[in-house]
């Protein structure tokens, strides 16, 4: 999609569709210049018709009118932004997404979009460009009609009409460039999630990572079963044992060219990558299995974020760690009752083979933390319990390091992705207690998402860590704003914003990096042994 900035009379801007977003009250009272000009060109009919149709510029409202040749555009689309006092760029992003879908339905190839007057024009540019870029997304490559359509309708040219008093600047150009990268990367991640599981296998996902790294100038290492065995990732090997598809160990690295920056502690991003989850021997019901091609959405978002990070060039390294495999039932599959030994050395009793994501993530998190990151985020479609708690559009955020959790929540707010912090409470730890191993992989039903977070916490040691459960937001059940039904790319925008936030003050994170999980476990064991000896001596 090609964008340009224009100023002046919006009705004269090139485009088949003129889009004017409005806040409540602007239709009847203080109309912005763009609306007043369009209404004048249409001889006062625009505001009158919109009023008759009940358009009050409330959030999610829209009104479409044909201009009958009285303006440069064939149609005018009014979009509601709701109450100005409660405005957030995400409202504009969703509205732009609705405009993109309207343009597609009308088979419009060009549009002029009036930027509303807000506190930060750059944020408005980002919201509109991302909303339009995400809104035009369709996944129809397997539909015969779409393949046979020779000239499919596509919105590919947009003029962004600047508000009164705002001029084109480097800041707006940079916001536009970033928004395009984010939208393109998100749509790339959506494609990975929406592809069927016979197409996106662990090998195919690794190849997608390799190609993305090559395009972005990133370093990539792809390992197989033998490499996983050498790393003693017993939990990962247990999950993949039932599938004929070979597992893949993916490590993508961005390293700054500046030698000093290259030595800074890295950030670590970990993505869950179960390319199909049948539940294993704890088989899912059919209706619960159909969408399990999306169980690799965390890895898709992480890889998509790395595409943007490669262009941002932050002044510190960023690593992405992914363990990709299928969870399938067979004669070689791991079984309820098995005991697996993790890379960290902890033993895990398997009580449910459908709680497989945390097993792979546990080994991958241990490996990631051995690279001494200043902080680590994992992104995972981990629990149905989180969907029950927060629904389809809110991410569950877990972590004990308040500063890092707050950074991620702040980044999510900036990105327009809603997250809610949930506890990582020791009160739930008994749910994972095992009589035959160090812990169980699945506890009681109650507090299921907390139990999963507690399990992962065992494998990060003292590294500042945030777990994002995207089980709900990773897959939209319906069209909404810029979302299409299916994969969403949830979490990608937040990861990009988190890296941008840290890049603004890199020296603040130069403190001594925490010990690795193994070192922390050894320290804890030594402390426990010392306490035991002291108790015995006292007795």
Q: What is the CATH number of the domain that holds 62?
A: 3.40.220.10
Domain count of the chain? 2
Interval 23-73: pLDDT, tens: 999 998 778 999 999 999 999 899 999 999 999 999 999 999 999 888 889
Listing DSSP states for 117-150 in one string gives: --S-HHHHHHHHHHHHHHHT----TT-HHHHH-S
Phi/psi for 128 (5° steps) reads -70, -45
Helix residue spans in 313-415 (DSSP H): 357-369, 384-390, 402-415
Give the confidence band of 449 by pLDDT, cuts at 50, 70, 90.
very high
Residue 174, in any domain of the structure = no
Residue 534, in any domain of the structure = no
State whether 118 and 225 are in the same domain.
no
Residue 327, in any domain of the structure = yes
State whether 327 and 385 are in the same domain.
yes
State whether 273 and 398 are in the same domain.
yes
Once rounded to an integer, what is the mean pLDDT over residues 155-160?
Answer: 96
Instruction: Give the CATH number, domain containing residue 472.
Output: 3.40.630.10
> Higher-confidence residue: 525 or 409?
409
CA 518 to chain CA centroid, Å, is 29
State whether 410 and 292 are in the same domain.
yes
210: annotated active-site residue = no
Residue 528, in any domain of the structure = no
534: annotated active-site residue = no
Query: Catalytic residue among 358, 440, 493, 502, which?
Result: 358
State whether 191 and 134 are in the same domain.
no
Does position 374 have pLDDT exceeding 70, yes or no? Answer: yes
Q: How far apart are CA 208 and CA 213, in angstroms?
A: 9
Confidence at residue 524, expressed as pLDDT on a 0 to 100 scale: 60
Q: How many CB atoms lie within 10 A of CB 19?
A: 30
Residue 173, in any domain of the structure = no
State whether 185 and 277 are in the same domain.
yes
State whether 318 and 234 are in the same domain.
yes
State whether 130 and 19 are in the same domain.
yes
Count of CA atoms in the C-beta half-sphere (13 A) of 472: 19
Query: Catalytic residue among 56, 168, 284, 518, which?
Result: 284
Interval 381-414: pLDDT, tens: 999 999 999 999 999 999 999 999 999 999 999 9
Interval 266-300: pLDDT, tens: 999 999 999 999 999 999 999 889 999 999 999 99
State whether 216 and 128 are in the same domain.
no
Residues 6+ positions from 356 with CB-CB distance below 8 Å: 239, 274, 277, 280, 327
pTM, entire model = 0.94
Helices (H) and strands (E) in the chain, counts: 18, 19
Q: How far apart are CA 207 and CA 212, in angstroms?
A: 9
Give the confidence band of 538 by pLDDT, cuts at 50, 70, 90.
low
In the three-class reduction of DSSP (H, G, I as helix; E, B as strand; rest coil), residue 249 is classed as strand
Residue 532, in any domain of the structure = no
Rg (alpha carbons) of the chain, rounded to whole number? 25
Residues 6+ positions from 473 with CB-CB distance below 8 Å: 392, 393, 394, 395, 417, 488, 490, 491
- Contact 110/153 with Cβ under 8 angstroms? no
State whether 110 and 30 are in the same domain.
yes
Listing DSSP states for 468-529 in one string gives: EE-TTTTEESS-BTTBPSEE--TTHHHHHHHHHHHHHSGGGG-SPPPPPHHHHHHHHHHHHH
Residue 332, in any domain of the structure = yes
State whether 137 and 218 are in the same domain.
no
State whether 119 and 223 are in the same domain.
no
Residue 335, in any domain of the structure = yes
* Domain carrying residue 8: 2-141+154-163
């Amino acid at each position: 999609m090609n964008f340009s900035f224009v100023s002046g009379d919006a009705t004269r801007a090139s485009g088949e569709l003129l889009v004017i977003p409005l806040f409540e009250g602007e239709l009847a009272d203080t109309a912005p210049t763009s609306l007043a000009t369009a209404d004048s060109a249409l001889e006062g009919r625009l505001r009158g018709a919109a009023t008759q149709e009940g358009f009050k510029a409330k959030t999610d409202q829209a009104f479409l009118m044909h201009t009958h040749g009285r303006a440069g555009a064939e149609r005018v689309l009014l979009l509601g932004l709701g109450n100005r006092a409660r405005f957030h760029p995400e409202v504009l992003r969703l509205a732009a997404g609705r405009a993109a879908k309207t343009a597609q339905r009308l088979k419009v190839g060009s549009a002029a979009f009036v930027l509303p007057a807000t506190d930060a024009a750059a944020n408005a540019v980002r919201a509109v460009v991302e909303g339009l870029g995400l809104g035009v997304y369709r996944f129809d490559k397997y539909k015969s009609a779409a393949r046979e359509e020779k000239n499919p309708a596509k919105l590919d040219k947009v003029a962004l009409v600047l508000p009164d008093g705002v001029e084109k600047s480097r800041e707006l150009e940079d916001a536009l460039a970033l928004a395009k990268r984010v939208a393109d990367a998100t749509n790339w991640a959506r494609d990975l999630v929406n592809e069927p599981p016979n197409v996106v296998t662990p090998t195919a996902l690794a190849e997608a990572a390799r190609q993305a790294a090559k395009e972005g100038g990133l370093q990539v290492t792809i390992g197989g079963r033998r490499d996983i065995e050498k790393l003693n990732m017993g939990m990962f090997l247990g999950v993949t044992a039932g599938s004929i598809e070979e597992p893949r160990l993916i490590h993508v690295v961005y390293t700054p060219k500046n030698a000093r920056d290259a030595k800074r502690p890295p950030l670590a991003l970990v993505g869950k990558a179960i390319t199909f989850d049948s539940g294993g021997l704890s088989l899912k019901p059919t209706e619960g299995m159909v969408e399990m091609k999306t169980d690799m959405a965390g890895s898709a978002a992480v890889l998509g974020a790395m595409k943007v990070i490669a262009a941002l060039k932050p002044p510190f390294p960023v690593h992405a760690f992914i363990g990709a495999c299928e969870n399938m039932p067979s004669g070689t599959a791991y079984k309820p009752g098995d005991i697996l030994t993790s890379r960290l050395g902890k033993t895990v009793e398997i009580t449910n083979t459908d709680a497989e994501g945390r097993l792979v993530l546990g080994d991958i998190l241990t490996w990631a933390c051995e690279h001494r990151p200043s902080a680590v985020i994992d992104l995972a479609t981990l629990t149905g319990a989180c969907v029950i708690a927060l629904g389809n559009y809110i991410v569950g955020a877990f972590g004990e390091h308040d500063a890092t959790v707050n950074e991620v929540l702040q980044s999510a707010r900036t990105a327009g992705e809603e997250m809610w912090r949930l506890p990582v409470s020791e009160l739930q730890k008994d749910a994972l207690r095992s009589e035959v191993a160090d812990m169980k992989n699945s506890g009681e039903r109650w507090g299921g998402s907390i139990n999963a977070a507690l399990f992962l916490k065992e494998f990060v040691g003292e590294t500042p860590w945030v777990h994002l459960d995207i089980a709900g937001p990773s897959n939209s059940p319906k069209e909404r704003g810029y979302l299409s039904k299916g994969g969403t790319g949830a979490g990608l925008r937040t990861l990009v914003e988190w890296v941008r936030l840290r890049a603004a003050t890199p020296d603040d994170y130069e403190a001594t990096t925490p010990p690795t999980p193994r070192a922390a476990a050894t320290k804890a064991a030594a402390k426990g042994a010392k306490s035991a000896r002291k108790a015995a001596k006292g007795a």
